[in-house]
Every structure is written in C-alpha cells, then in structure tokens.
Amino acid sequence: MEEDMDRNLYNDFLSGNDKAFEEIVIKYRKSVTDFIYKIVHDYSIAEDLAQDVFLYILVNKDVYNPKYKLKTFLFTIARSRSLNYIKKSKREISIDTYEYYLSDTTDYLDNVDNREKLERINSILKSLKPDYQTVIYLADFEKFSNKDISKILNKTDIQTKALIYNARKKLRTLLEKEGITYDE
C-alpha cells in the first residue's frame, strides 16, 4: 500500500538515508508544485515554494506524524506556504485553468468541440469562490479523502463535507446553465 511505502520511506529518511529523502522529493515534487501553482498563478514561484516545502521537511524531520498520509502532510505545508506568499504579495487566491489532454485518436471535430467545452468548464471553475475552487481541485482532481481535505484546509470534517457539497452544487448549477451535465 502506498501509505506504508511512504511511511517506510520517511522512516528511512529519519534514519539518515539521504536517498529516501530524494525519493520523497522526486515522488511528490510535481504534484506539490502543481497544487501551489493553482494558488499563486506563477510557476517559478510555485517551484520556489515547493522547494521551501521540502526544505522545511529536511530541516524539521520530526514534525511529520506518520498517522497521516505523507501527501496530505505535504499539501498542508504547501497550502500554508502559498497562503503566506499570497498575504505577503497581496494577490488574489484562485485555482487556475485545469489542464486536460485529449486523445490523438479522436476525430478533429470532436476534438474542437471538446476543447470548447473544456474552455467553458474552466471558465466556470474559475468563476467559483476560491474556497470552492480549492475543495473541488482537492476532491475531484487530486482525489483526496474528506479527512485529508479537512487536514489540508484546517477545517472540521463537517465543515469540509458542507464545503464540498456546496461547491459541487454551485458548480452543477453553473454547468447546467451552460447545458453541460455534471458527473461527480
């Protein structure tokens, strides 16, 4: 199981195995950077903040509690670093355009229709409140559990469930106005 592998990897890192730390960075650097980018909207800043996340772990090895998933822990730190950056730079928080990759085997016209539909969906996603955008990204794109989302957002389970429910309800309403069906 991935959680056990991560736990073992982290324990190896705690034991002084530098290769284990490198493996953690390699495994999670892209997803942490992408998550941060969705908040700060600048890839070079996202890369710097992701580096700060891993540097924080390197310096504060004992902070991680293995009863939580390592990915959840990393995203919690990433969110905190991103929000601190936003506060300092006074930028607005928002999840940016989601990238979709269309299959090369689809017909050109279908491809054009799909791209237009995806652009409309992206526009609708970007029109949601920042909290809604974040929770939809974490739940539907990163596939975090409600418990993990609660930890990342520092909310109770009930608050998280309500936030997910309200975000999906609002998204569904906006998509239906555009004639797009929403499947959770």
For the stretch 33-87, pLDDT in tens is 999 998 888 899 999 999 999 999 988 888 888 888 899 999 999 999 998 888 7
Span 108-177: which CATH code?
Answer: 1.10.10.10
d(CA 80, CA 98): 21
Record the pTM: 0.66
Structure tokens at 69: 């998933």
Parts of the chain belonging to CATH 1.10.10.10: 108-177
Parts of the chain belonging to CATH 1.10.1740.10: 2-89
- Of 49, 73, 44, the residue nearest 61 (C-alpha): 73
The length of the chain, given as a count of residues: 184
DSSP summary character for residue 91: P
Query: Predicted confidence band at 99 (pLDDT cuts at 50, 70, 90)?
Result: very low
CA angle in degrees (0–180, nearest 5) for 88-89-93: 100
In the chain, pLDDT over 90 holds for what percent of residues?
30
User: In the predicted model, what is the mean pLDDT of residues 111-124?
Assistant: 70
Span 2-89: which CATH code?
Answer: 1.10.1740.10
Checking if the pLDDT of 108 tops 80, the result is: no
Quick one: pLDDT at residue 124? Answer: 84
Contacts of 94 (CB under 8 A, 6+ apart): 39, 41, 126, 130, 133
